Amino acid sequence: MKIASKIFDKRINALNVQIEITYVDYLKIAKNIIKSNEFQRRRVKSSSTIYSLLKSDLKTGCIIPPIVLAISNIPTDIISQNATDTEIISNIEKHQSNLLILDGLQRTHTIIDAEKELVSDDDSVILENFYNRFLRIEVYIGINKLGILYRMLTLNTGQTPMSVRHQIEILFSDYLTNSIDDIKLYTEKDDKTPRKKGEYNFRDIIDGFNSYLERNELPIERSHLLDNIKSLEKLSKEQPDSDLFNKYLTTYHKLVEKFEELSENYVFNAETIEYIFSAGPFATNAIKLINKSQTMTGFGSAIGRLYDLEVINGITEVNDLIDVLKVENPKDAFDEILIYLDRIRVHAKKIGNDQRLYFHFFFRELFDKKGDSYLNINSAVNEAYHSYERKTK
């Protein structure tokens, strides 16, 4: 491993180091990255022909574009251009478990595939030549997670990229093992349905956070250049040193706790409602209502939009506003939400998307200090449905 150059990236406050490394040494690092992060094991669907050709070229010694990695948990003094090459390399090797692949995941998988085929061919000379060839990698050292996401988007622009959701899953997967306070996140492989306060599906939280970044309540899979640019514009407004995902997650958890408190142990009871539901209710209590993906994405997009309109100063202000939310009649408020959601189910072509739109308007009304429903849940419930009707009819 040999350092070719060091440049400090002022936009994301991180040191960019270009390194020349043999394939055998990179394979050790790459396999460890993929083993440590289940989301980096996913392969993006793309042209199999292209990567088959690349695999063949790798065996003959082609040069590929640099693969870009990032590492965050590094001592502050190493994030300096004055740090020696030996210190930098030593710290990269020491903190390999914290490395992420920002750009070049498919190339990395192809390199691993090429090695497997060469091992299977049992030609030690060709395999040795392959191992000893060099490729270039760039490592962003000392970069925080918001900076990583920003760089992921810029690096993937113009390619066939991972969706933003997948990038966020890779980036924030450590929250699955390093919990925040009493919050617990579950993935599909956990085979567990969140039922208690503080339990969430990781995928749903990712969708909500994605909706905040995109200012769109729909769980969009990114593939177009224009979309990347829009996300970059939004992301560039955030403070580069902030843990935005942490703020989003803890704020949403606080909202859940507040809704449970204000609901006064609300439980759905069809016999007390003068409305005939078309099917079972959207949810049977406040926790289940607020824990739905539709609610999370509606919240994320609404908060992001209010931020763009300069009505709020970001997620931190919403965290404070949650303390002063009020409801005049909890039962009426939650009954009406369920009635409106049922009406949406009856008439909507895409039920989930329309429910997300309703919640987008609900949280817009709730946290818009210029509106008549500011911080008033009862009023926001009704105004949101009126806004939904105007939007869809």
* 145-200 confidence digits (pLDDT tens): 777 777 776 765 544 455 666 667 766 777 776 667 788 888 866 777 787 888 99
Please say if the pLDDT value at position 40 is more than 70.
no
Q: Report, as an integer, the average pLDDT of 224-231.
A: 46
Please say if the pLDDT value at position 19 is more than 90.
yes
Q: Check residue 226 and give its pLDDT.
A: 40
Question: Is there a single domain that holds both residue 134 and residue 210?
Answer: no
- Within a domain: 368: yes
- Within a domain: 237: yes
Question: Is there a single domain that holds both residue 182 and residue 330?
Answer: yes
Q: Report, as an integer, the average pLDDT of 114-142.
A: 92
Please say if the pLDDT value at position 260 is more than 70.
yes
Among candidates 352, 361, 391, 393, which has minimal Cα distance to 379?
361
CB contact at 8 A, 171 and 148: yes
The sign of the dihedral angle between the CA atoms of 246, 247, 252, 255 is positive
Question: Is there a single domain that holds both residue 111 and residue 179?
Answer: no
Which of 76, 111, 143 represents a domain boundary (last residue)? 143
Question: Is there a single domain that holds both residue 230 and residue 351?
Answer: yes
Question: Is there a single domain that holds both residue 244 and residue 200?
Answer: yes
- Within a domain: 320: yes
In this structure, the number of other CB atoms found within 10 A of the CB of residue 199 comes to 17
- Within a domain: 148: no
Q: Check residue 153 and give its pLDDT.
A: 66
Indicate the pTM of the whole model.
Answer: 0.69
Widest distance between CA atoms in the chain:
80
Which of 143, 177, 208 represents a domain boundary (last residue)? 143
Q: Report, as an integer, the average pLDDT of 71-100.
A: 79
Q: Report, as an integer, the average pLDDT of 110-129.
A: 91
**Which range of residues forms the domain containing residue 120?**
2-143
Q: Mean pLDDT across the chain, nearest whole number? A: 85
Q: Check residue 361 and give its pLDDT.
A: 98
Q: Check residue 229 and give its pLDDT.
A: 44
Q: Check residue 133 and give its pLDDT.
A: 94
Among candidates 184, 196, 183, 187, which has minimal Cα distance to 287?
196
Dihedral through CA 366, CA 184, CA 212, CA 172, nearest 10? 160
Question: Is there a single domain that holds both residue 253 and residue 200?
Answer: yes
CB contact at 8 A, 72 and 145: yes
Least confident of 23-27, 103-107, 294-298: 103-107
Q: Check residue 56 and give its pLDDT.
A: 86
Q: Check residue 127 and give its pLDDT.
A: 92
Rg of the chain over Cα atoms, rounded to whole angstroms, equals: 24
Question: Is there a single domain that holds both residue 88 and residue 234?
Answer: no
Which of 143, 174, 197 represents a domain boundary (last residue)? 143
Least confident of 23-27, 95-99, 145-149, 243-247: 145-149
Q: Check residue 148 and give its pLDDT.
A: 76
**Which spans in the chain are helix H?**
23-36, 48-60, 85-94, 105-121, 124-132, 145-156, 164-171, 202-214, 225-235, 244-263, 286-290, 293-308, 315-321, 330-347, 351-367, 377-392
Please say if the pLDDT value at position 299 is more than 60.
yes
Give the contacts of 350 (CB within 8 A, at least 6 positions apart).
none
Question: Is there a single domain that holds both residue 299 and residue 352?
Answer: yes
DSSP result, 329-379: -HHHHHHHHHHHHHHHHHH-SSHHHHHHHHHHHHHHHHH-TTSTTTTBHHH
Q: Check residue 239 and give its pLDDT.
A: 55
Question: Is there a single domain that holds both residue 139 and residue 105?
Answer: yes
Q: Report, as an integer, the average pLDDT of 222-235.
A: 48
Q: How far is CA 254 from CA 319, 324, 363, in A?
A: 7, 12, 14
pLDDT-above-70 percentage for the chain:
82
Predicted confidence band of residue 33 (pLDDT cuts 50, 70, 90) = confident
Please say if the pLDDT value at position 225 is more than 80.
no
Please say if the pLDDT value at position 288 is more than 90.
yes
Q: Report, as an integer, the average pLDDT of 75-83.
A: 66
Please say if the pLDDT value at position 67 is more than 70.
yes
Question: Is there a single domain that holds both residue 197 and residue 284?
Answer: yes
Question: Is there a single domain that holds both residue 307 and residue 385?
Answer: yes
- Give pLDDT tens digits for 309-360: 999 998 999 999 999 999 999 999 999 999 999 999 999 999 999 999 999 9
Q: 3-state class of 47 per DSSP?
A: coil
DSSP result, 247-267: HHHHHHHHHHHHHHHHHTS-B
- Within a domain: 358: yes
Structural domain count of the chain? 2
Please tell me the distance from the alpha carbon of residue 322 to that of residue 355, in angstroms, as a whole number: 22
Question: Is there a single domain that holds both residue 269 and residue 172?
Answer: yes
Please say if the pLDDT value at position 111 is more than 70.
yes
Higher pLDDT, 27 or 146: 27
- Within a domain: 155: no
